[in-house]
Amino acid sequence: MPHDFTGQTAIVTGAASGIGLAIARDLAAQGARVVWSDLSEEALARATDGHPEALAFPCDVSDHTQVEALVAYAVRETGTLHLLVNNAGIGGPSAPTGDYPLDGWHKVMGVNLHGVFYGMRYGIPAIEAAGGGAIVNMASILGSVGFANAPAYVAAKHAVVGLTKNAAMEYATRGIRINSVGPAFIRTPLLDALGEDALTGIAQMHPVKRLGTPEEVSALTCFLLSKEASFITGSYHLVDGGYTAP
């Protein structure tokens, strides 16, 4: 179902590939003025090729000064901000908690948790100034269940779900809806690097026996950002092919 985002400005982090790329494309196709953000300027150039209307802004979301600059850029270039998708994230090292590298822990937390907080810290005042809008924070199925050898990722995504609920309560009467989305394993370039044998095994972990697509996650995300979801806030929505059902 298409939505109408005409006249609205959106920021999407992690927009150069995978889920973020699908969301940025879909929002633009549905009328939003999209600021595409990612760590790499070169990756952003490739992602926005064919989108002459796109606004691209490289940003390391683990650096609060860069996130503040990203929001300021969106407002300066378009005059406003209504929609924010805090999607940028990394996987981190694979190791049990007792052996987990400290630098890996801090890097995962910096991007996956602090980056979401910074996005809301600077994005919420801009959205409120525009008269309201919506935010989607990209969590994961691992925002509700554990996964061996991924303590930093699991902890960060659980925290994103809690942070989302807390902020949604604070701004529920101030015109800003805030929700989180929890994808399972989605077929992205990052996952493709594991090889077909590994992907086949991962697909079998889902009751539907396949991987999800970025477009499926984008469809839910765009709905949550739209006026059709006007009574939905503070929620955690799974796109998981039944992964968390057992």
Q: So which residues are the catalytic ones?
A: 153
Q: CA distances (Å), 59 to each of 51, 104, 209, 214, in order?
A: 19, 20, 36, 21
- CA 78, CA 145: separation in Å to the nearest integer? 39
Contact 116, 140 (CB under 8 A): no
- CA 216, CA 237: separation in Å to the nearest integer? 12
- CA 80, CA 160: separation in Å to the nearest integer? 25
